[in-house]
Amino acid sequence: MMGVDMTGLKRCLSLSLVSTCVLLTLVACGTRTTNRAPVEERMAGSSAPVGTEVLVKQPQGFENAGKPGYYAVKPGDTLTRIALENGQSPSDIALWSQLEDPNRIEVGQILRIVPPVTQEVVVQAVTKPVVSAGSLNKPAAVAPTPVSPVKSSATPVPATDTEINWVWPANGIVLAGFDEVKNKGLDIGGSAGDPVVAAADGRVVYVGAGLRGYGNLIILKHNNVYLTAYAHNQTLLVKEDQAVLKGQKIAAMGNSDADRVKLHFEVRRQGKPVDPAKYLPAK
């Protein structure tokens, strides 16, 4: 009977056990569940998780969109341009619209461009009366009998054209006449520093250079119907909310935002540009 090689047998048994262990390890690895980080589904174009309600911020005054007496801000608009084209003061529109920062308006924002209908006024009275030349240096008149206040309408009662006595705002020659498309007023020539005067009694509602294409600009409000604009000035000599008299010097002629020295003069009737030549006296 042949002898058994015990050393060889032990070696074979060891190799067999090692192979079995390796095989079991591989099987265990193949069946193990991998712990991966959960994938969070999100809505397209949003960082909020699915099911989260996204709140869209509405522009200020959106509830008044489309109502009479309100205006939706468009790209390129400024408060000054909106006021000029609606025959109002920028500061009044800012007040009526409750703007926190009048220098910042946003596209889609809804602005009130007429006085609130609930605003109470005395019959034939105005909040900021225009001072006329004939009223200066006169003794105080006896106070009239008080009248009951009434609610004002949203649209001012139009004044007749004869209620204002106009004068030319500058003495130069007319370089360009009124054109509804190309020129919304008159261009009057002159030299740098020539006087620019108020075309009628009024109140200053804008002084500045915030309206592109107008340079250093002054806007006067004469009543609830008429505004006048004086553009391209070299020097501005009045302040906002100041009362001025017909013929009073309000600026010095210049060429700010213009190709030459000139005064661009506009008359606006309820915000719409009209031909100043039809209102000014003949030269």
Using 50, 70 and 90 to split pLDDT, how confident is the model at 283? confident
The tens digit of pLDDT for each residue in 146-185 reads 433 333 333 333 445 557 999 999 999 999 999 988 999 9
Sequence letter at residue 262: K
The tens digit of pLDDT for each residue in 69-125 reads 899 999 999 999 999 999 898 999 999 999 988 888 999 999 998 988 754 333 233
Sequence letter at residue 56: V
Provide, rounded to the nearest whole percent, the portion of the chain with pLDDT above 90.
Answer: 52
pLDDT at 228 over 60: yes
Task: State residue 102's pLDDT score.
Answer: 83
pLDDT at 253 over 80: yes
Task: State residue 43's pLDDT score.
Answer: 40
Task: State residue 160's pLDDT score.
Answer: 52
Using 50, 70 and 90 to split pLDDT, how confident is the model at 33? very low
**Per-residue CA distances from 130 to 122, 138, 161, 223, 244 (Å):** 16, 16, 16, 8, 8
Q: Which residues contact 130 (CB under 8 A, 6 or more apart)?
A: 201, 202, 203, 221, 222, 223, 243
- Average pLDDT of the chain is 76
CA 124 to chain centre: 31
Q: Please answer whether residues 172 and 267 qualify as being in contact, where contact means their C-beta atoms are separated by less than 8 angstroms.
A: no
Say which residue the tokens 């001012």 belong to.
156
DSSP letter for each residue of 201-250: SEEEEEEES-STTT-EEEEEE-SSSEEEEEEEEEEE---TT-EE-TT-EE
Using 50, 70 and 90 to split pLDDT, how confident is the model at 57? low
Residue of 164, 175, 160, 155 lying closest to 232 (CA atoms): 175
Instruction: Average the pLDDT over each of 132-136, 200-204, 250-254 and give the range with the smallest value.
Output: 132-136
Residue of 132, 278, 261 lying closest to 198 (CA atoms): 132
pLDDT at 40 over 50: no
Task: State residue 134's pLDDT score.
Answer: 39
**Paired tokens of 278:** 């039809």
Cα gap 259→169, rounded to integer Å: 20
Sequence letter at residue 22: V
pLDDT at 206 over 50: yes
Angle at Cα 201 formed by Cα 200 and Cα 207, nearest 5°?
90
User: Biggest alpha carbon distance in the chain?
Assistant: 154
Mean pLDDT over 131-153 rounds to 37
The domains of the chain, with CATH numbers, are 58-116 (3.10.350.10), 162-278 (2.70.70.10)
